[in-house]
Amino acid sequence: MPDTISPATRRSILLLSFATFASMAAQRICDAMLPELSRVFAVSLAQAAQVVSVFAIAYGAAQLFYGPLGDRLGKFRVITFATLACSIGSTLAVLAGTLDALVFARLLMALGAAALIPLSMAWVGDSVPPDQLQEMLTRTGLGSTLGIVGGQLVGGLLTDALGWRWAFVFMTLLFGVVGSLLYRDLRRQRSVPAEPGPHSPPPAQRPGFVRQAVLILTGRWSRTILLMAMVEGAAGFGVLAIWASHLHRSLGLSLSMAGAIVALFGLGGMLYMATGRHLIRRFGQQGLVLMGGGFVGVSAVGLAYTPHWGPALPASLLAGFGFFMFHNTMQANATQMTPHARGTAVSLFSSFLFLGQSIGVVLAASLIDRIGSSAVIALGGAVMALEGVYFAWALRQRERQASR
């Protein structure tokens, strides 16, 4: 297959990977520190979890704003300034003296971070040929998976070693550096004649947001993808937020150790990204979602009920591998829902995903006192396994309809 992607575009994709890393790290940075926040601010674990759930709610709601804004003003431009704005919210988190102040700072971080992953996906969809889209999405997805590793690990390590504020010092520096690199690349892009990407829509096709949203939401396949994204967010990312706390409380592990084990989830995702090209050819989308959901289900049950931390290591790694088998297939379908309004479509996808995450965090935190964290984690895994079965069936039905 000929290489039709320019070196400049590849550099831009690399910088977007840094941005997606920062966005995902910001989401996961608080997971391992929840018990410490509960202790420091003298609140329950469910109250401390607001730093995760409020972030997810704001992140999801902001998609409704960033999608059409990126379509109209330029996706890379919006990503650049949103990244720089995130450093402001991170600075306020460092200075927070109460839980309410920290939640407010996390809200501001979410409003900036919301632009990074969906608009990066949409920019890649506009800038690379369709036959190389999934491979490039895998590369930008590597930044997200590394962000899971970095967020979980840095959050736990810095909280244990120096205190939770230093985790937000790290995020302030990260967003500042990445934002500066993006701004430099944006200036480079502006210095050359503007040319539409090989798969970008013509400028005339820019309907208003309401019309775009109606077109997306009234499509049968689009609705299927969006609803599955919500379930995936709740059962996958939402329940993942309590994994480190479960290991800390049930097995007596330190926060840094628990965070390191859960960070293997991200390493599992990285392993999928490294082998995804071959797996896609070998198993196809149906096979990937079926196996991916099954891997998450089995791993979640193992991690939930293991009496020793040893089995939690391969369980977390396999769960991440399986989850991203499923999630990358979802992303590929989301970028193709509505090509003429790709920014809005992908942003709606992310909105549903993180709305589901916020629901999952709230439900998980409320169910812990009733049925215990082990049962909550196992339940999340079971839902992911069932969703994998359904998605494989839906893909098969869609393939049959297309062949008629």
pLDDT value of residue 2: 47
Kindly report the CA angle at 326 between 312 and 309, in degrees rounded to 5? 5
Q: String of b and e for 158-173 (b: at least 16 CB within 10 Å)?
A: bbbeeebeebbbbbbe
What's the gap between Cα 188 and its chain centre?
Answer: 28
Residue found under tokens 């205190």: 163
Flag the least confident range among 33-47, 164-178, 182-196, 284-298.
182-196
Q: How confident is the model at residue 81 (pLDDT cuts 50, 70, 90)?
A: very high
Q: Give tens-digit pLDDT for 120-153.
A: 888 887 787 766 776 777 777 778 878 877 887 7
Is 50 exceeded by the pLDDT of residue 1? Answer: no
- What's the CATH number of domain 8-192+207-403, 1.20.1250.20, 1.10.1740.10, 3.40.50.620, 1.10.3720.10? 1.20.1250.20
Q: How confident is the model at residue 288 (pLDDT cuts 50, 70, 90)?
A: very high
Alpha carbon distances (Å) from 256 to 31, 60, 259, 263: 11, 29, 5, 10
Cβ-contact 323, 264 below 8 angstroms: no
Is 60 exceeded by the pLDDT of residue 194? Answer: no
- Domain extents for the chain? 8-192+207-403
**Alpha-helix residue ranges (DSSP H) falling in 29-128:** 34-40, 45-48, 50-73, 75-95, 99-113, 116-127
For residues 81-99, average pLDDT: 92
Q: For residues 300 and 312, give the distance between their C-alpha atoms in angstroms, rounded to a whole number.
A: 9
Half-sphere exposure of 53 (CA within 13 A, CB side): 19
For residues 45-73, average pLDDT: 80
Which residues are within 8 A (CB) of 73 and not within 5 positions of it... i.e. 6 or more apart?
none
Q: Give tens-digit pLDDT for 200-227.
A: 555 445 555 566 666 677 678 888 899 9
Q: Give tens-digit pLDDT for 298-309.
A: 999 999 998 888
Q: For residues 47 and 354, give the distance between their C-alpha atoms in angstroms, rounded to a whole number.
A: 19
